[in-house]
Amino acid sequence: MKTIAKTGNEAMAYAMKQINPDVVAAYPITPATEIVQIFSNYVADGEVDTEFVAVESEHSALSACVGASLAGGRVMTSTASQGLALMHEILYIAAGNRLPIVIALVNRSLSAPINIHCDHSDTMGSREAGWMQLYCANSQEAYDSLIIALKVAEQTAVPAIVSTDAFIISHAMERLEVLEDEEVQRFIGEYKPRFSALDLENPKTFGPLDLQDYFFEHKRAQIDDFSKVLGTYNKVAQEYAELSGRYYPALEEYKTDDADVAIFTAGSTADTAKEVVDGLREQGRKMGLVRMRMWRPLPVEEIKAALGKFKAVAVMDRSDTMADFGGPVFLETRGILYDAKKKPLLTDYVYGLGGRNIDISDILRVYDEIEQVVKQGKIDKLITYLGVRGEE
């Protein structure tokens, strides 16, 4: 274990180096470019054994990853925003084929208007593609999560996206504790694929055509594989904690034990909110924070248990569903709580789109308002757009 200073992108690139995949196929995109740029330096200097395929688009990046993974390789890539959108078609194909590809992603808004800054619309738009999703709150977590995700992906044959917030994490320097290369290698172990298109003894046909008679069965089997991800994740996260001293639950609770109200959010905003909670606690206000880290698969029981104990919860969503019903975290959380024995009053704050700054005063306002909801015993405004000009 050693301590170094790294940005989120440097941390992800460093984890990729220590994982030392067989193939990385990638395409540059702001603000994730640095990840593969740094990684290609490792390749150029012979610090990894990886075949680096500098493709001509993100669509080809993930397509080449699918080919490499079917060929039995350990495979990673990196992208953001439009790049993930261009990969969208192949996300489903990678997952359907059970290929444990891992994407080091930087969350950036989707055009239009074009914008290079943070929100979660890119990954939230891909949440039905069959990929595990982990949202990180800082560089340390991004580094650790990439290593954890790779192992979970390979054990479950489910691909994974590990993401950081554009610029806020990707470009911010932090102190980081990293493992030794050998420790990472020992932790992830040798990759043993379920099958390989290079197996000449038993030729197979990958990605065949299903008609009405088999498509549903194949999807049902995929859903079953996906249902094992959370359990595997919990086990692997525990193993990682034993190795590194850092434990990352699928759902994190912060000062919630006696809290009446909580904010439920993700990413770097959760780290900011922790500071706010500390301040509120000093004032004697019983407020907590729940951080969603894994959003695919949904840690349903964990969310029910964590949020069920509050009188009111404010969800903070860094994207919108265009359903005229708030953000995806809000929508899905409402669904999860529907049959909970105890459930809080639930409101949604859509914030931070396109990198709009969210600071301590914004978060304080949310805590004030959610406290008000508890006092009134009812919700006046279900969905609030926080920090946008023109809102009353």
Minimum distance, C-beta of residue 107 to other proteins, in the bound complex (Å): 25
Q: Which C-beta is closer to other proteins: that of 59 or that of 255?
A: 59
Peptide bond into 28 cis (omega under 30): no
Using CB under 8 A, list all residues that contact other proteins.
22-23, 25, 49-51, 53-57, 59-60, 63-73, 75, 89-90, 93, 96-98, 157, 194-195, 197-200, 202-211, 213-214, 216-218, 220-222, 224-225
Query: CA-CA distance, 299 to 250, in Å (whole number)?
Result: 7
Give helix 8-19 / helix 139-156 axis angle, nearest 10°.
40
Residue (156 or 321) nearer to other proteins, CB? 156
Q: Would you say 68 or 166 has its CB closer to other proteins?
A: 68
C-alpha 283/C-alpha 271 separation (Å) is: 19
* Minimum separation from the CB atom of position 76 to other proteins (A): 12
Which amino acid belongs to residue 193?
A: P
List all residues 6 or more positions away from 120 whose beta carbon is below 8 Å from its beta carbon.
Answer: 107, 135, 163, 266, 267, 317, 318, 319
Cβ density class 174-212: b for 16+ within 10 Å, e for less: bebebbeeeebeebbeebebeeebeeeeeeeeeeeeeee
Q: Minimum CB separation from other proteins for residue 214, in Å?
A: 5
Nearer to other proteins, 219 or 381 (CB): 219
Minimum CB–partner distance for residue 217 and other proteins (Å): 4
Pick between residue 59 and residue 365 the one whose CB is nearest to other proteins. Answer: 59
The residue behind tokens 């909110």 is: 273
Q: With contact defined as beta carbons under 8 Å apart, do 206 and 148 qualify?
A: no
| Residues in CB range of 356: below 8 A, 6 or more apart | 387, 388
Q: Which one, 195 or 325, has the nearer CB to other proteins?
A: 195
Least Cα distance to 333 among 302, 354, 363 occurs for 302
Nearer to other proteins, 53 or 358 (CB): 53
Least separation in angstroms between CB 163 and other proteins: 23
- Looking at residue 377, the DSSP 8-state letter turns out to be T
For residue 157, give the DSSP letter: T
Q: Among 265, 247, 242, 239, which residue's Cα sits nearest to residue 333?
A: 265
Which residues touch 167 (CB under 8 Å, ≥6 apart)?
31, 117, 118, 355
Q: Report in angstroms how near the CB of residue 70 gets to other proteins at its nearest.
A: 5
Tell the smallest beta-carbon distance from residue 66 to other proteins (Å).
Answer: 5
Q: How far apart are CA 15 and CA 69, in angstroms?
A: 19
Which residue, 209 or 322, has its beta carbon nearer to other proteins?
209
* Closest CB 216 distance from other proteins, rounded Å: 8
Nearer to other proteins, 93 or 379 (CB): 93
Closest distance to other proteins from the beta carbon of 308 (Å):
33
Strand partners, 81: none
Cα–Cα distance, 235 to 122 (Å, whole number)? 28
In the complex with other proteins, which residue's Cβ is closer, 215 or 247? 215
Please give the single-letter amino acid code of residue 234. Answer: N
CA nearest neighbour of 250 among 303, 305, 211: 303
The 10 Å Cβ neighbour count of residue 375 is: 9
CB of residue 199 vs other proteins: minimum separation in angstroms? 7
Which residue type does 125 have? G
Question: Closer to other proteins at the Cβ: 73 or 355?
Answer: 73
What's the closest the beta carbon of residue 258 comes to other proteins, in angstroms?
46
